Every structure is written in C-alpha cells, then in structure tokens.
Structure 1
Amino acid sequence: MSKVKVTTNDIARKVIEQKSMYLLDVRNESDFEEWKIEGEAFEYKNVPFSEIKEGVEHLAKKLPKDKDIIVACAKGISAQKTVDKLEGAGFNNVYPLEGGMQAWSEHLEPVKVADIEGGAIYQFIRLGKGCLSYMVISNGEAAVIDATRMIDTFKKFADDKDAVIRYTLDTHLHADHISGGRRLAKETNTSYYLPPKDATEITFDYQKLEEGTSLSVGNAKIEVKAIYSPGHTIGSTSLIVNNAYLLTGDILFIQSIGRPDLAGKADDWVEDLHDTLYETYKTLDQELLVLPAHYASNDEMNEDGTIGKKLSTLYQENDGLNVSSQDKFRKMVTENLPPQPNSHQKIRETNMGKQSPDSEEQREMEIGPNRCAIS
C-alpha cells in the first residue's frame, strides 16, 4: 500500500504557481464534468472506479509512466484503492489525494494582496469552490470579510500574524456556501456585521453593516467603509478598505456580474443590480482595486495568484458593465441564469440561523462549483 499521499496544500501550490499535473479522477463522469480540480497546465483522465474495481490492466495502458499521477475521488478512499491496484501493476508514480474532493472543497489558500500601513490585506482563495474571503490586518488587529465555515484557518492565520480579530463582516447573506462569520465572531469574542436588509429573517443578534458604517482596524486607522450596493441580494453592501480596495461581494466579479435570483427575486432585483453597476460604482474612484467574493476560473488569477483588477479596467473589459440599455441588461441577466447552487435555500436558512446541520451535512450541502455569476 502506498504510504505517500498528496495534500490539498500540494495541489494548491501547483494551481497558484501554474505548474503542470496529471490528474486521474475516479469519480463518476457526471461528477467529474460538473466539478473538478482546475489547473492552468493540468492533464486529466476520468475513469470511474466502478470500471477498475476488478482490474487496472486496460487503464494501465493509457497512463503515463514518466510523470507523477495524482488520483482523486470523493473522499480519498477509492483513490487509495486505485493507487494500490496501479502499484500492483508496476506503477511507482501514483499518489492519492488525501481527503479527496471533499478536502479540496474546504482548502483555503491565503495570498497577500498588498501591504498597507501597519500590516497587509490578504485574500483567502477557496480554490475548490471559487469563494474569496479577506483579512485586513493593521497594528495587531484584524477584520475578516466573507469568512467561510473553515474558521480555524482564519484564527490560525491571525495568530501567526500576531493579530487579534476585532470584526467579522459578511457583505450579504450568502446562498452558495455557509458563512463562518457569525461563529468566528463568537469564538473570538468580537462583533459580527451583516447588512440589515438581508437580516430580516435571522434568528441571532448582529451589528448593522450599512451605508456609512466605518470600522477602524489597528492604530493606523485603516478604515473599512460600507457602501450600499443591492442587486445580488437586497442588502448587498460593498466595502472600501484604506481608500484603495473595493470589496464587491457577489455584485461584481472580474469576468462577470452577480445574479439577482437566489432569493427568487430576479425580476425585482435586476434594476437594483443595474443601478449599482451603472450608477453607484461609476461614482467611485476608478483606481480602486476590485476584490470580489467569488471567481469563475483560474484565468482570472493574476501572476501573483491574487484575483482582482482596477475598477476602470473592468469597465473596459467586463461585458456585464457594457450593455447599451437597461432593457438589454434585464434580458441578458434574466435569460442567462445558470443552475442555482446546490442546496441554496437550505444554505440561506443555515446562514439565517433557522437550520443547524451537522458538519458532515454542511460539507455535502456545499459540494460542487459556485454559481453566483451570470453565465
């Protein structure tokens, strides 16, 4: 039995650094087609484990022996069995992905966006899900924005940077993943902020994140300022950090724009989405670096691994910001909605505090790609 396993940390570095990798995925074809590990220079082969249970002779003829082969499955069990079979067939270059796609879905990769006075702003990339969280650190204090449920990552990162988490904030009520903001605030004995227009059904106490809210982080007075920007949800609120970084939540992405339908309000909210993108954001400093809460593909990554572009650049390059009329915008948005995220209503209710699924159920609810953008 193989004793060497590849971790999600190993895979993440290959993605960020755009290194090559050969991936043998033994999940069912439909699961593989819907969602897989994306890499700029990755090679793929998908063979369901059911086809190799009895033997790997046919598969062995199709696999390279001159490069490492990473084997992935749902949770790591079938991958290990596949590796054992291939080693028995003479392969010494096969390695299972520890924890499988479940572990990949939960991996967070921190990348520094920029230094700021007394600290830095960091982007936490959930490579297997396309989610982006942020931590602003200055002079020993931190604010965490749009945290995922893997809150231990944020706690450890802050500890490693000798920073105390002072605030956690969600730019909106999330529907594609379970927020860790409220639990992180509870475990760090700090304040949790949420837009009040998204909080009409929540079952817990919170601080209002609304137009004009201004929070200082550290002695350097690095400010996080809120701007009301509805459209993805009725409460969606953007944040400007240090007058240089625009955290857009799920309103504006690098290659697309947010969808307005995850609460069943597409026709009602499409006008709000248009006004935010074509009026509110137009009044902002166009030199702001847009940092979204999601991304769709790795080609949105910059060379340093970050995901972000200047607002002025997006007004030139993003098709969703260049629709000639409001009627055409409405048609584009309402006719190009992708399938809704897995378990999106149950995720919304969990983030409201109405449901309390256990950790295993939370994992299952989140499995699959994010679908927060217009196609």
Structure 2
Amino acid sequence: MAVKAMAAGEVAKKVINNEPLFILDVRNGDAFADWKIEGGNIQYLNIPYFDLLDGVEEVVSDLPTDRDILVVCAKEGSSIMVAEMLSEEGVHSAYLSGGMKAWSEHLEPVKVGDLKNGGELYQFVRIGKGCLSYMAISEGEAAVIDATRMADIFLDFAQEKGAVIKHVFDTHLHADHISGGRTIAEATGATYYLPPADAEEVVFEYQALVNGLEASIGSTKVEALYSPGHTIGSTSFIVDDQYLMTGDILFIDSIGRPDLAGLAEDWVGDLRESLYSRFQELAGELTVLPAHFMIIEELNEDGSVSKKLGELFKENHGLNISDEQEFRDMVTKNLPPQPNAYQDIRKTNMGKITPDEEVQREMEIGPNRCAVR
C-alpha cells in the first residue's frame, strides 16, 4: 500500500488550527531535542530510524488510534520507509514530504490587517523556523520587510495581488537566516535598504536605511525608526501610524539578544535605550509585528504573531526591569546557544560568500535563537 505524503503546508494548517496530530520523529535524539515541530495539540514519540530497522511491531502499541500519525525525519527518506513498515502492520500514517528541511522553509501568508486607503498588510509566518516576514500592499505597489531566502514566494505573492515591489527592507543584518532581500530587489528593480551601521563589511550596493527615512507605496507610508541593541544598526518601522515592525529588538514574549556580533556588553545599553526610551515614547495602540517568534504559543488564533505595544509594556518581562544592572545581567548572562552557522549566515548576508542552495538549507537548519531567554 502506498503511503501518503503530507506537505509542510498541511502540517502548518494543523498547527495553526490546533488540530490533533501525533508525530513519530525518527531522527536521532539530539536532533529531536534541539528542534521539532511544535503545536498545542501535538503529541510526540522519538525513536531513531536505526532502532526501527528490525521492525516496528513494538512501536505500534504506542501509537494512538484517535488522531493522524505523521512520520518525520530530516529529508523524508527514512520517514517513508518507516511509514511503509507501519502500513504493513495495518497502521495508517503519513510522512512529512521533504522532511524537516521542507518544514524549515514553509512560509504561511497571513493577512495582518488593512492599511489606510484600502491597502493590506501580510505576515509570512515561517512556522518551522520562527521567522516573520512582511509585505505591505497599497494601490498596486508593495514593500517587503525582512524577507527570507525563499524569494519566489514573495515574488509570486506580489504577482497574485497585482502589485509591483518597489521597496525591500532588512531591519538589520540577519544572523539566523539568509535574507532574500537582495534577490527580490534584483528581480524587480526595487530599492534594497540596509542599515549602514550593520553594513560596514557588505560588498554590494544598497540604499542606506537611516532614522526618519520615509518610503511610500501607493498611499501607505513606511517610516524608519533607529532602534539599536540586537545589532548596532537595528531599525524598526512604523507603517501608516498603525503598525510597529520591531525586527529582532522586541518580540511578543521576549526581547532581542545583543551578542550575535560578539558585542553583548557593548550593545546592551543600546538595547535598553531602544526598549525603555524610544519605544516608550510611541503610542501604545501601535500593533507590534516582530521579525521572529520564539514559542508556538505566541501565535494568534489566525496564525499571525502580533500584539499592541501597550500590552507588551504590561506583560513582557524584558520591558519591566527597572534596575539597569539587573537588566544588563539578564541580557548578557541569560543567552541561548548561538544560531547554527551564524557566522557563515552573516557572511552570506554581507555578500562575502555565496553558498549553493543545498548548503544554505543546511546552514539554516535548527530553531530560532534570536531572543534572550
């Protein structure tokens, strides 16, 4: 009996809709512990593939009968074989098409809301990696913010919406994923913006993203707000006085880490000033749209990630530490592991190296690690 393939998009829908799913993950235990498919209604069993080569009979009794079963591995090959073995035992299951690599690359577009004068704002949720990208569309023009390397998804989406991409922004030089910003700009003739303080080693041409810069698409205004701390160049955006795109400086349940260029002690003061001074002066009704989410619980019911700034100042622990030394200690002494291959990712985003596609996929494997825990 042929086993069923389940696409990453189908799994993403189950996660967003909180549907029940049982995952038999056949990767090695360390890979599973480091990074897995997460969801509020997901159950797991991790048994390495090599432990199942002699048969799956002993596993069958551990599998539920009241929910879909999905077999997962790194690239799909091992999961296909295990799913076929389960089928021979009378257990219906599916395998994740493309494995965890496909899960890492899936983008789920979610409409965040309407802009002034009929425009729309979309969030692209990279649910397996925690990355969040954006496209603002107004009167047939579009701007893209913090695009991932899967550039075709943004190009195709703009075409579907009948919009021409005019501006492409990166809020900072990313260290956890490869930017698709330059690729999109080259394909469309759009202007590519990058903060100059992050671009001292960049080897390509770009437009300087500086504080107060205003760019328009149709009748929508995108205004830059310098907000260093995650990197020295980190820059946020205020869109139509409705939305605050915070890059990796502020998340829903945490704040940005300042150490990915090895300068945590130097940048922690900038981080505090951005969060406790610059953002405090902004309207609490602004909807915060970060460039990442940390945990699946940060997703709203529709799959988007957002919250009012005023609510974050009440609820986000990182915004409520009055003692400056306590804040400094929390930020510099409470850091998670560095993202996988982050130095090579930074070099790629600088244009210094150009790995082939498969190498880029390998570089990005693993969870998001942009936040202070």
TM range (shorter): over 0.9
Map 1:262-341; keep pairs closer than 5 Å.
Answer: 262-341=260-339
SS at match of 1:122: strand
Tell me, yes or no, if structure 1 residue 342 matches structure 2 residue 340: yes
SS at match of 1:178: coil
What is the aligned partner in structure 2 of residue 20 from structure 1? 20
1:60 alignment partner AA: V
Q: Partners of 1:96 and 1:59 in 2: how far apart?
A: 16
CA RMSD of aligned residues (A): 0.9
2:199 alignment partner AA: A
Tell me, yes or no, if structure 1 residue 258 matches structure 2 residue 253: no
SS at match of 2:71: strand
1:105 alignment partner AA: S
SS at match of 1:271: helix
Map 1:58-207; keep pairs closer than 5 Å.
Answer: 58-91=58-91, 93-116=92-115, 117-207=117-207
SS at match of 1:142: strand
After superposing on structure 2, the runs of 4+ consecutive aligned residues of structure 1 that deviate more than 4 Å are: none
> How many aligned positions are there?
372
What is the aligned partner in structure 1 of residue 227 from structure 2? 229
1:76 alignment partner AA: E
SS at match of 1:11: helix
TM-score by length of 2: 0.98
Q: Partners of 1:235 and 1:351 in 2: how far apart?
A: 14
Point out where structure 1 has 5 or more consecutive residues left out of the alignment: none
Deviations, residues 159-204 of structure 1 (Å, cap 9, x unaligned): 1111111111000000000000011100112110001111111000
Shift in alpha-carbon separation, 1:67–1:282, aligned structure 2, 3 A: closer
SS at match of 1:283: coil
Q: Partners of 2:16 and 2:120 in 1: how far apart?
A: 20
SS at match of 2:310: helix
2:34 alignment partner AA: E
What is the aligned partner in structure 2 of residue 47 from structure 1? 47
The answer to whether the 8 A contact 1:147-1:181 is kept is yes
Deviations, residues 240-263 of structure 1 (Å, cap 9, x unaligned): 001110000000000100000000
Point out where structure 2 has 5 or more consecutive residues left out of the alignment: none
Question: Displacement, 1:334?
Answer: 0.7
Q: Partners of 1:19 and 1:89 in 2: how far apart?
A: 25
Q: Partners of 2:3 and 2:332 in 1: how far apart?
A: 51
Q: Partners of 2:20 and 2:240 in 1: how far apart?
A: 37
What is the aligned partner in structure 2 of residue 217 from structure 1? 217
1:198 alignment partner AA: D
The answer to whether the 8 A contact 2:106-2:126 is kept is yes
SS at match of 1:320: helix
Q: Partners of 2:245 and 2:67 in 1: how far apart?
A: 40
Q: Partners of 2:78 and 2:102 in 1: how far apart?
A: 14
Question: Displacement, 1:66?
Answer: 4.0
Question: Displacement, 1:3?
Answer: 4.5
Q: Partners of 1:63 and 1:38 in 2: how far apart?
A: 18
Q: Partners of 2:101 and 2:303 in 1: how far apart?
A: 23
Q: Partners of 2:65 and 2:304 in 1: how far apart?
A: 34
Which deviates further from its counterpart, 16-25 or 315-324?
Answer: 16-25
1:323 alignment partner AA: I
Q: Partners of 1:112 and 1:64 in 2: how far apart?
A: 35
Q: Partners of 1:3 and 1:303 in 2: how far apart?
A: 31
Question: Displacement, 1:324?
Answer: 1.5
Question: Displacement, 1:19?
Answer: 1.2
The answer to whether the 8 A contact 2:20-2:67 is kept is no
Deviations, residues 315-345 of structure 1 (Å, cap 9, x unaligned): 0000000001111111111110110000111
Q: Partners of 2:16 and 2:136 in 1: how far apart?
A: 21
SS at match of 1:282: coil
The answer to whether the 8 A contact 2:229-2:274 is kept is yes
